[in-house]
Amino acid sequence: MSKKFVVTINRSKKLVNIINSNEAITDKKKVEFELLKLKEDNYLLRINNYFYEICTDKIDHEKYSLFVNGNKIDTITRTELQERAARLINEAKISSNNKVDIKAPMPGLILKIKKKAGEVINQGESILILEAMKMENDLRAPVSGSIIEIYVTEGNAVEKGDKLFSIE
C-alpha cells in the first residue's frame, strides 16, 4: 500500500511515504499515526503519542488550509509525479518570460563574478560565487539567454532575496 507524496508546508517540501494505515516515513524517520474522523472536515491525528485536532478546508485538488490546534497552515499535497510535472511547468513559464531576476538564496558575500552584462549564457552555466557560512556556492543560470544586468560587485555583502542579476 506504500504511497509517496510531496507535501509543501509554508514553502518547505517534505517527502511523506505512507507505508500502511498506521505507519509513515518522513524526514527519514518512521512514525506511527492514527487518523480519526470526528465530523465532515474535522479530524483527530495522533503522531507517536502527540495528539492534534485538525480542521480541513479544501481549496482545490491539491491545496488545503489546515487549522491544527487553532493554527492555520497552508499546504499543497501532490504525488511525486504531480510534483515533477508542476516543477517542469514552472520552469517552462520561467523560460518563456522575457526577464528572469535571480535573487540571493541566502545571505553571504559575493566572491567572484564570472560573467558580464551582455554575455550570452546557457542554462546551468556558472555566473557567480557566493560565500555563505564559509562555503562557496556556485550560482548557475536557471535559463539560457543574455545577462541584461548584474546588480552586485565582488566583495558585496548580500541578504537573502537581494537581486543578483537578470537574464533575458
Has residue 89 been placed in a domain? no
Q: Residue 37 and residue 73: Cα distance in Å, rounded?
A: 19
Grid cell of 106 as nine digits: 541566502
Number of structural domains found in the chain:
2
Residues comprising the chain, all counted:
168
CATH number, domain at 45?
3.30.700.30
Nearest to 125 by CA among 105, 139, 144, 141: 141
pLDDT digits (tens, 9 = 90+) for 89-115: 677 665 555 788 889 888 999 999 999
What is the mean predicted confidence (pLDDT) over 29-45? 93
Mean pLDDT, the chain, rounded, equals 88
Q: Is 151 in the same domain as 119?
A: yes
pLDDT above 90 as % of the chain? 53
Has residue 136 been placed in a domain? yes
Q: Is 78 in the same domain as 148?
A: no
3-state secondary structure of 26: strand
pLDDT digits (tens, 9 = 90+) for 130-161: 998 888 988 888 888 899 999 999 999 999 98
